[in-house]
């Protein structure tokens, strides 16, 4: 590695730039004091006094701004909900270091240490994490810290969704979910702020801009009815939300919804052998045969990766919420049930910050996030069709 690359990566960090600006502007401000004093005593220098005052004022303004930025801000909470077997230790340490650097108070929550990694304890682990976040933040605020909370999550999709829903019941001055960038340096950047704004409909212009930039089509997502779906699954509604560049996600999710199988069959070769590819999705044991819901809608924002800024993450969440709310009401009318009683099967591929935000926005809905196992996705098996007479 070249010697200048670590230095350059460090200089690209916002906190480093702010620190350098603070040092330089403070030095300029202090250095201007004797110059101004000399100009006050020396009549020949008085014509330049206004310039000195202006320069000192600008430098002081920059110094105060940088100092304000460097003040310890809120509470940093690192939440580790990944199974220990699949935990990325380097990523966890990166989140911890970032939280300590940016916030005056930072701590890590790891519920599996108390409840174990068993899948059946997932709900309890999320509940414990949400409770501990509230308690630790309250303790920090009582000790004089600000009530702003910055969440650094490590979680699978279903657990992240449940965490967002659980946090909706608590009150914070500000709750922002951080995001690990996909870019080379893997910096931790602001993801999305959790607030009631996430349930507000985008304007027509905002929707058009979002879809033009990130969707494969600007057409309004339509509800697709599956008439062969049996009761009681027919009363369900499936929502497919693709907010990443995964091109096969929507196809695989639609296959699981319409066929009720987690494997996609390829074409049969000349020897009668068929190759099956696993989608990675895991259906519940009591899932019915055939279609898993009476209807589904596919929400696509996968033409290119979403811009990693809170504005675009927030707009993506609001778009998914708006479409899901519209089709839920439509399906409730079709099936003669209250919208609040409609069960949602959510197939989602998105940054975990967006998943947590959707959990927050849909906290009052009946939502079951379908698990996706990357270890299974793409696995193949072959099967020979029996010969028929």
Per-residue pLDDT of the chain (389 residues; tens, 9 = 90+): 455 555 555 555 555 665 666 566 666 666 666 666 666 656 665 565 666 567 667 766 665 665 555 555 788 999 999 877 777 888 899 999 999 888 878 889 988 887 777 777 888 899 999 998 988 888 777 766 667 899 999 999 999 999 999 999 888 888 999 999 887 567 899 999 999 999 999 999 999 999 999 998 888 899 999 988 888 888 999 999 999 877 789 999 999 999 988 888 887 777 778 888 888 898 876 666 788 999 999 999 988 889 999 999 999 999 999 999 999 999 999 999 999 999 999 999 999 999 999 999 999 999 999 998 888 888 888 887 665 43
- How far is CA 314 from its chain centroid? 9
CB 167 within 8 A of CB 130: yes
Given this model, what pLDDT does residue 160 score? 95
Output the pLDDT for position 144: 61
In whole angstroms, give the CA distance from residue 26 to residue 24.
Answer: 5
Strands 366-369 and 371-372: unpaired
- 363 and 340 in contact (C-beta within 8 Å)? no
> Which letter does DSSP use for residue 289 in this model?
S
Rounded Cα gap, residues 227 and 32, in angstroms: 79
Q: Greatest CA separation found in the chain? A: 114
Q: What pTM does this model have? A: 0.81
Pairing outcome for strands 188-193 and 174-180: antiparallel
Q: In 236-313, which ranges are E strands? A: 237-242, 263-268, 273-278, 281-282, 295-300
- Nearest residue to 161 (alpha-carbon basis) of 130, 202, 115, 119: 130
Rounded to whole angstroms, how far apart are CA atoms 314 and 197? 8
The 8-class DSSP code of residue 309 comes to: S
Using only C-alpha atoms, what is the Rg of the chain?
A: 27
Neighbours of 205 (CB within 10 A): 8
Phi, psi of 4 (to 5 degrees): -85, -15
- DSSP type of residue 230: P
For 100, residues 6+ apart whose C-beta sits below 8 A from its C-beta are 76, 106
CATH architecture of 75-197: 3-Layer(aba) Sandwich (3.40)
Element at 264 (helix H, strand E) = strand 263-268
Rounded Cα–Cα distance for residues 227 and 4 (Å): 63
CA quadruple 32, 35, 37, 40: dihedral sign: negative
Three-state DSSP at 164 gives helix
Q: What angle do CA 61, 64, 67 make, to 5 degrees?
A: 150
Q: Which DSSP state fits 228?
A: T
Domain ranges of the chain: 4-70, 75-197, 214-372
CA 248 – CA 242 distance, rounded (Å): 10
Query: What 3-state DSSP class applies to 389?
Result: coil
DSSP 327-340: HHHHHHHHTTS-GG
- Which phi and psi angles does 373 have, rounded to 5°? -105, 110
């Amino acid at each position: 590695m070249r010697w200048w690359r670590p230095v350059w990566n460090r200089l690209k960090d916002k906190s480093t730039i702010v620190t350098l600006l603070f040092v330089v502007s403070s030095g300029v401000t202090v250095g201007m004091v004797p110059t101004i004093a000399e100009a006050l005593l020396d009549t020949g220098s008085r014509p330049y006094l206004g310039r000195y005052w202006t320069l000192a004022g600008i430098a002081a303004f920059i110094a105060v701004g940088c100092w304000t930025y460097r003040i310890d801000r809120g509470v940093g909470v690192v939440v580790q909900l990944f199974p220990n077997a699949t935990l990325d230790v380097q990523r966890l340490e990166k989140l911890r270091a970032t939280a300590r650097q940016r916030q005056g108070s930072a701590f890590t929550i790891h519920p599996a240490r108390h409840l174990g990694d068993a899948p059946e304890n997932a709900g309890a682990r999320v509940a414990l994490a949400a409770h501990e976040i509230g308690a630790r933040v309250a303790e920090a605020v009582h000790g004089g810290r600000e009530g702003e909370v910055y969440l650094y999550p490590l979680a699978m999709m279903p657990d992240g969704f449940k965490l967002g829903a659980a946090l909706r019941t608590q009150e914070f001055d500000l709750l922002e979910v951080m995001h690990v960038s996909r870019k080379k340096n893997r910096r931790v950047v602001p993801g999305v702020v959790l607030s009631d704004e996430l349930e507000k409909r985008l304007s027509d212009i905002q929707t058009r801009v979002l879809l033009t930039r990130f969707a494969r089509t600007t057409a309004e997502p339509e509800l697709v009815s599956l008439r062969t779906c049996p009761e009681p699954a027919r009363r369900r509604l499936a929502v497919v939300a693709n907010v990443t560049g995964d091109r096969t996600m929507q196809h695989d999710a639609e296959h699981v919804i319409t066929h009720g199988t987690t494997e996609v069959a390829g074409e049969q070769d000349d020897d009668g052998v068929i190759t099956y590819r696993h989608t990675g999705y895991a259906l519940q044991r009591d899932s019915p045969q055939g279609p898993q819901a009476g209807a589904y809608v596919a929400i696509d924002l996968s033409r290119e990766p979403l811009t990693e800024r809170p504005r675009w993450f927030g707009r993506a969440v609001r778009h998914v919420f708006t479409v899901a709310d519209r089709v839920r009401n439509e399906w409730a009318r079709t099936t003669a049930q209250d919208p609040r009683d409609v069960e949602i099967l959510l197939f989602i591929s998105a940054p975990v910050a967006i998943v947590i935000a959707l959990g927050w926005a849909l906290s009052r809905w009946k939502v079951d996030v379908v698990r996706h196992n990357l270890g299974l996705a793409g696995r193949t098996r072959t099967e020979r069709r029996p010969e028929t007479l």
